[in-house]
Structure 1
Amino acid sequence: MLVLGRKYKFTKIEEDRLQKKRIKLTIIKYTNKEAEEILEEIKIILNTKKYKTIILNTKGKVDDKIIKYLTDIQFEKNINIINIEYFMETYLNKCYIPDDHQDLNYLVNIKPFSKFQYFQKRLIDYIGSITLLLISWPILLLARRKIKKQSPGTSMFKQLRIGLNNKEFKCIKFRSMKLDAEKDGAQFASENDPRVFAWGETMRKTRIDEIPQVLNVLKGDMHFIGPRPERAFWIKQFEKEIPYYNERHIIRPGITGWAQVMYPYGENEEDAKQKLMYDLYYIKYWNILFEIKVVWKTILIVIGKKGI
């Protein structure tokens, strides 16, 4: 695929994912170039190699000469022309979010679940939570014992998180960090975080630390599947760079979610934005089959102990 511009810069994770799908991207830089120079570069590339798709990924206005050439060759060379928004939703399963906050088209069809969708979600919540409790109770006992052995103190803790409509609730988790993990204030969890003890690291990779949240699900604070609940402290930080971050709160958070199975633990605002793109895609395209897909990917992560 030929990509015109760098409005959106693909991450290493996305490049690897596209490579597995045998999709190779050739990027033509658009900024600080004259239209004639860009047009000539496009012609040379298209005459050298056959491309099936051209992705429009430019911030600025595309010159009329380039538009005319692209429309002329669209049928002549049987090339499909798409924008970056369509490409990301179709091939990367995430919604594009612009950096300039001017184009709000990505918010189209991002809306709360209908009554019927909510009914389906709650049915899945009860079935999933009860099933998880029945099959995981030996792991819960083991987890509690190993936590107390490696890091004496309470094995579970409650932490205020933001849920539906920005309302706080007490989220229940197994403790995976030392008791004094935040003695210097809140901070992002990172890869090989020294605050995480050995069994805590295993729990985080396999999502065992999240299992107690089935109690939140049964209570109605959370869904089995949905955006991960975040703390108010971090949300305030994210909103400084991502003013639309609260869009993810139009539905209840989940124990696991599309962002969690598609992207690793977040360490900064950029990671939060990347996860938001997946969360919005999940909300926009939710259906039963999609829900089952998230559950299946979560199971694969738990079994394989993968970070994503």
Structure 2
Amino acid sequence: MQSTHDKNNIYFKDFYKENIGPKVDSLYLPIKRILDILFSLMLIILTFPIVMVTVVAVKCESHGPIFYKQVRVGLMGRKIVITKFRSMYMDAEKNGAQWAQKNDPRVTRVGKIIRRTRIDELPQLFSVLKGDLSLIGPRPERPNFTEEFSHKYPGFEKRLRIKPGLSGYAQINGGYDIDPGQKAKLDCYYINHLSFWIDVKIFISTIKIIFSGEGAR
């Protein structure tokens, strides 16, 4: 597996974590965790044939590993490792981490398909089972981006008060290339209105986006 993260860049200054605020406390959270386990298990089983086809496609198209790992920022600033199907050419970030962009030239042909359909995210279902991620929640960012955005967009770190997810309120209302400040506002709206019904709405909207190809990176 390929790691695209610089281990020297994963630590936060003390004041950064102090600005996160208190962890979200809701009676819905235990139910949300049970739903995460049940649905992630179901999706792992249902998508197994797709996963096997993707493994072959990624390996055949370009040189390099099938999967890659990245360090991201999870609940309350804790570092987590997520795994995705590799969708970029090797050494795509040799000059450092870059914010994803539309029609990104670093993305392979297979990568464009699995990104548009969110297939590249399927390995993260195991992170949901483990408890690092939720099916629904703010998308986790890399530590260097999180630190940068928390200074540039005050309040960005408030997203860390809840467990990150595979899809979130910001993704269904703006996609992956919206302004980080706007993303923070949308994610904070989700946190302030956390409920079973908003999760259902996000889940259904995510399915629609997958089949329509909207918001592809």
Instruction: Place the TM-score, normalised by the shorter chain, in its bin.
Output: 0.7 to 0.9
1:157 paired residue among 60, 64, 68: 68
Aligned to 2:55: 144
* CA distance, structure 1, for counterparts of residue 201 and residue 122 of structure 2: 19
Which runs of 5 or more structure 1 residues have no equivalent in the other structure?
Answer: 1-109
1:203 paired residue among 114, 127, 142: 114
* Aligned 8 A contact 1:176 1:201 in 2: yes
2:36 paired residue among 106, 115, 125: 125
* CA drift at 1:189: 1.3
Equivalent residues in 2 for 1:81-120, closer than 5 Å: 112-114=23-25, 116-120=27-31
Runs of 4+ that moved beyond 6 A: none
* CA distance, structure 2, for counterparts of residue 111 and residue 279 of structure 1: 16
Secondary structure of the structure 2 residue equivalent to 1:306: coil
Equivalent residues in 2 for 1:256-271, closer than 5 Å: 256-266=167-177, 271=179
* CA drift at 1:116: 2.2
2:193 paired residue among 282, 285, 288: 285
Q: Residue 222 in 1 paired to residue 133 in 2?
A: yes
Equivalent residues in 2 for 1:27-46, closer than 5 Å: none
Q: Which amino acid aligns with 1:244?
A: G
Identical aligned residues as a percent:
39
Which runs of 5 or more structure 2 residues have no equivalent in the other structure?
Answer: 1-20
Q: Which amino acid aligns with 1:181?
A: A
* Aligned 8 A contact 2:102 2:177 in 1: no
* CA distance, structure 2, for counterparts of residue 192 and residue 295 of structure 1: 25
Deviation track 1:94-153 (CA, whole Å, cap 9, x = no partner) reads: xxxxxxxxxxxxxxxx96443522101101111220121121111111111111111222
* CA drift at 1:251: 0.6
* Aligned 8 A contact 2:155 2:184 in 1: no
Higher RCO structure (Cα 8 Å, ≥6 apart): 2
Total equivalences in the alignment: 196
* CA distance, structure 1, for counterparts of residue 153 and residue 123 of structure 2: 30
* Aligned 8 A contact 1:111 1:283 in 2: no
* CA distance, structure 2, for counterparts of residue 244 and residue 282 of structure 1: 14
Aligned to 1:107: none
Secondary structure of the structure 2 residue equivalent to 1:157: strand
